[in-house]
Structure 1
């Protein structure tokens, strides 16, 4: 399906033209028909052969009266193509200029201009004026066609121009995350709540769950072009029959794929130059089919166009979204490009100027390298929510985290001094846990520290060790004595009195174990590293199964040592304890 929004001054024949093109009256309200003007958004559709698989065309007919500009912007916001309508028997009118400015600000580059009522006046001057006006906007080069909705003159040429324009539209991604801007909500007897909107991309299916913030609803039924269907992909006009938490669903609600979008009340943007001075302090923001009050704060020099908008309610926004900012007092319009929908707080003096300098080169194109240069590190899920794809590059990826090359370099340089400082402060425990380093480097996860470790640092058992960090001299000397005694009698562990005589407490023994010099079988009980394997090898030579007493005698040790030693062998899977309290070596 293709979707085209109309635009143009009131009473220039937009609805008449849509009716001539589709055979359907888009004005659905009795008051609209009585007054002869469009008040709410109207819809009509038809089929045009020659557009391939996408041969169905839906028109969103927007009001042209100045009092209904907000409704008009809701109609054109999500639509990628436009039909600008001007009348041959009227001069160039304010709403035509205003609607064209809105299309230009939204970056709509695909459109056709229809000069209506060509049966009532010579269309030549209006064609020339419309061509000149359009040439200064994003619709530059759009065909200008003279038509008459009453006589049908020029309709075939208009259909041909529209068909060519629609065929040139880039295809939307059917797998994109859904963001549906609701423009109507009503209740159908026997069905319940129904909402309508223009789906720009993605696919909605019957049974899908959609989110409005924390509120979840389920798609119970789905229609497109008046027909029930199981699935619809954008771009399309859709009607959804919803069930679930529907009480808060209303016009301007935004239904999205759950957990796929970042909803924000604060967004940093670039304002494209508009007429006269900059926007007021409290402008109105239009995006999709929504309009919200905003607070405008220039960042840095106002002439730079970088600003922060604080919205009256959260909206799902992504980098590169195009929006409109409107002065409700004099109706001026500014184009707004979203640069960062998840900006940092401005806490210190000069933060606004620094932020403006940081965003000076941003143009609203989502680039991972640019995002990381500003953020330093980011979570993959957050990047996806704000619309920044994780592409290949020279950044670091650690689990769900992505880190800029500059931050990797800075963190790596800080790591060695931190480890060395810890070793000096904790001579008996010089190895630093990854979690401690993550906290000192202000990183959100220890997983980020591991890939930062470079020689001569090394990771041992979840701790970072510096080869230069050794045990204190006195501890080293005492441990050497214990090691010599154990080499002579491997399972005659020194007693608590002997350890105390040598000046070795639990902290010293723990440091010796981490250094790979001793093995703590139990508190206050140490043997040489490798004693477990040696014990299992010697016990394997006994008649199986063997008793604790036989193990004690074979190893030449005491019950003080053999009981905790056998327990460690059991836990290591080297021996197996039987029901009668005997053991056997696991071969």
Structure 2
């Protein structure tokens, strides 16, 4: 199935031509039939050899331009209608500008009322104008609904259009812009729209873009026929479950969760930005909402609006300058831009946007992002990205963060030598990381996480004072391994109990009750105590180890705690079977 929207000046015969092609009058409202004027979107369809073709007939009068844009914005192709006896007029130009702004690339030109005047000059003029737009070179045919001249030729061209248009992506996330919403007895709320890509199926859960509320599909119809599923492009009617009519309407969209980004602020590139006023009307899908524009630099602007829109990078939108009655094409570059609070931040951000304008550049622009967020924003995750859980890191940004983390570790160790190693939570805060777990990625090449802190293995982790104590103990080990430096000597060596406690945690020293020895002191003590009679007293231990009670008591208490020794009722000790461990 294919969908095509009409376009053209009021009273140039759009609706009459659709009725001739389909056998159905697209004007459905009593007011339209009474006035002979299309006011709102009309719908009709026909079957061609290449498949079914649905028409979205749009109003031609400028007073109903919002309705017109709702039809053009969501259609993958257009039938531009120009009357031979009217020629190119105001809404012909306006509608073509809208077609170009939305980037529609497929279509035809029909010159109507060719029985009333020579269609040649109008046909050639229309073809020349269209060639300069997104449509490019298209086929054009003169027709007459009254005589039937050219209708068969137009049908053939439409059939070729249906056959040759590229297929939509059935697996793409659904974003169905609602153009009608009504209530049916026994069914409840029904909405209609043009499904451009993706697949809908009964029971599917969707999100209403304007409210963020979830809904589900109770039933589906395509061209009046009930279906279990339907893929775009297609005209569809969706019966929603547990959704009041007051919660949906034209301008909202039904979207798959994670398929687009719900936003009220976007950064865009605007064609002919010199003419952009502050207050504009933004047209996106079937939505038409007021927006405020802030110039960032040259053709780059920030748009803010009150009603959330489901957008992706690269979306083509339209800005309407209501004062001048002009249209300006817009391309979405960012769907969640950063706040601009400092002087000069707008210009700096504009430069960043220029250098990363493609959707695939989003990770390079952000440095770090969730994979799901990139997908929702319409940015394909780069193959070279560094992946860690749900997070993706740009390689260049990751290298920058690695350097910054190494510097932060150095600064921390200099400022707090008694607590070497930077806690990951503090590292995440300094680097402005969204998740503490990302610190692990940044330590992979040059840093290590040990004892719950980030260390630089290329730099001694012990402070100079602690190293001096270790050096003195090492020198004494050959003759008096159980002589521990006094508190005064520790101070003379430039150490503190905090520094030495860290050395104990790092297994560079053994410590207990203010006494510090080399880390193998308990094992050496057990080996010596094996050579004396048991049970032995503290005094016996002091003589065997050639040390004082100041050292022997905490050492024996350590051996008790580790079950290397056991105390007798009289206070003496024996070695246990665990003493050999």
Shorter-chain TM-score category?
Answer: 0.7 to 0.9
CA contact (8 A) 1:506 1:524 kept: no
In structure 1, C-alpha distance between the alignment counterparts of 2:3 and 2:187, rounded to whole Å: 26
Instruction: Measure how far apart 1:498 and its partner are.
Output: 9.6
The question of 1:323 aligning with 2:317 is answered yes
The question of 1:450 aligning with 2:453 is answered no
Question: Partner of 2:265 in structure 1?
Answer: 266
Question: Partner of 1:15 in structure 2?
Answer: 15
Question: Partner of 2:544 in structure 1?
Answer: none
Question: Partner of 2:143 in structure 1?
Answer: 147
Aligned with 1:338: secondary structure?
strand
In structure 2, C-alpha distance between the alignment counterparts of 1:193 and 1:523, rounded to whole Å: 78
In structure 1, C-alpha distance between the alignment counterparts of 2:377 and 2:300, rounded to whole Å: 19
In structure 2, C-alpha distance between the alignment counterparts of 1:486 and 1:334, rounded to whole Å: 84
In structure 2, C-alpha distance between the alignment counterparts of 1:242 and 1:500, rounded to whole Å: 82
Instruction: Measure how far apart 1:86 and its partner are.
Output: 1.1
Question: Partner of 1:236 in structure 2?
Answer: 234
Question: Partner of 1:424 in structure 2?
Answer: 414
Question: Partner of 1:112 in structure 2?
Answer: 108
TM-score, length basis structure 1:
0.82
In structure 2, C-alpha distance between the alignment counterparts of 1:76 and 1:185, rounded to whole Å: 18
CA gap of 1:565–1:506, structure 2 versus 1, over 3 A, is: farther
Question: Partner of 1:576 in structure 2?
Answer: none
CA gap of 1:102–1:521, structure 2 versus 1, over 3 A, is: farther
Instruction: Measure how far apart 1:509 and its partner are.
Output: 5.8
Question: Partner of 2:179 in structure 1?
Answer: 183
Larger deviation: 458-467 or 78-87?
458-467
CA contact (8 A) 2:269 2:301 kept: yes
Question: Partner of 1:4 in structure 2?
Answer: 4
Question: Partner of 2:379 in structure 1?
Answer: 388
CA gap of 1:157–1:531, structure 2 versus 1, over 3 A, is: farther
Question: Partner of 1:358 in structure 2?
Answer: 352
* Aligned pairs (5 A) from 1:521-536: 528=519
CA gap of 1:281–1:73, structure 2 versus 1, over 3 A, is: same
CA gap of 1:63–1:516, structure 2 versus 1, over 3 A, is: same
Larger Rg: 2
CA contact (8 A) 2:219 2:226 kept: yes
The question of 1:42 aligning with 2:46 is answered no
In structure 2, runs of 5+ residues without a counterpart are 527-552, 565-576
* Aligned pairs (5 A) from 1:392-471: 392-393=383-384, 395-453=385-443, 457-466=447-456, 467-471=458-462
CA contact (8 A) 2:522 2:559 kept: no
The question of 1:333 aligning with 2:323 is answered no
The question of 1:289 aligning with 2:286 is answered yes
Which of 190, 201, 210 is the aligned partner of 1:205? 201
Instruction: Measure how far apart 1:520 and its partner are.
Output: 8.4
Larger deviation: 435-444 or 315-324?
435-444
In structure 1, C-alpha distance between the alignment counterparts of 2:122 and 2:398, rounded to whole Å: 61
CA gap of 1:564–1:98, structure 2 versus 1, over 3 A, is: same
CA contact (8 A) 1:420 1:469 kept: no
Larger deviation: 307-316 or 246-255?
246-255
CA gap of 1:563–1:88, structure 2 versus 1, over 3 A, is: farther
CA contact (8 A) 2:500 2:509 kept: yes
Which of 59, 81, 104 is the aligned partner of 2:77? 81
CA contact (8 A) 2:465 2:499 kept: no
Aligned with 2:293: secondary structure?
strand
Instruction: Provide Cα deviations, 1:513-553, integer angstroms capped at 9, x if missing partner.
Output: 44233578999999958999xx9xxxxxxxxxxxxxxxxxx
Instruction: Measure how far apart 1:333 and its partner are.
Output: 0.6
In structure 1, runs of 5+ residues without a counterpart are 536-556, 568-582
Instruction: Measure how far apart 1:3 and its partner are.
Output: 0.6
Instruction: Measure how far apart 1:156 and its partner are.
Output: 1.8
Instruction: Measure how far apart 1:45 and its partner are.
Output: 1.2
CA gap of 1:512–1:148, structure 2 versus 1, over 3 A, is: same
Aligned with 2:379: secondary structure?
coil
Instruction: Measure how far apart 1:340 and its partner are.
Output: 0.9
CA gap of 1:265–1:473, structure 2 versus 1, over 3 A, is: closer
Question: Partner of 1:575 in structure 2?
Answer: none
CA gap of 1:479–1:347, structure 2 versus 1, over 3 A, is: same
CA gap of 1:117–1:200, structure 2 versus 1, over 3 A, is: same
In structure 2, C-alpha distance between the alignment counterparts of 1:458 and 1:10, rounded to whole Å: 72
In structure 2, C-alpha distance between the alignment counterparts of 1:208 and 1:487, rounded to whole Å: 79
Question: Partner of 1:138 in structure 2?
Answer: 134
Aligned with 2:562: secondary structure?
helix
Question: Partner of 2:27 in structure 1?
Answer: 27
* Aligned pairs (5 A) from 1:517-556: 517=508, 528=519
CA gap of 1:125–1:447, structure 2 versus 1, over 3 A, is: same
How many aligned residue pairs are there?
535
Instruction: Provide Cα deviations, 1:28-80, integer angstroms capped at 9, x if missing partner.
Output: 1122122212111111112212x2xxx12111011111111110000111111
Larger deviation: 401-410 or 318-327?
401-410
CA contact (8 A) 1:267 1:310 kept: yes
CA contact (8 A) 2:189 2:243 kept: no
In structure 2, C-alpha distance between the alignment counterparts of 1:237 and 1:62, rounded to whole Å: 15
CA gap of 1:198–1:419, structure 2 versus 1, over 3 A, is: same
Question: Partner of 2:537 in structure 1?
Answer: none
Instruction: Measure how far apart 1:326 and its partner are.
Output: 0.7
CA gap of 1:227–1:562, structure 2 versus 1, over 3 A, is: farther
TM-score, length basis structure 2:
0.82
Which of 326, 334, 342 is the aligned partner of 2:336? 342
CA contact (8 A) 1:215 1:245 kept: no
Larger deviation: 498-507 or 82-91?
498-507
Aligned with 1:264: secondary structure?
strand
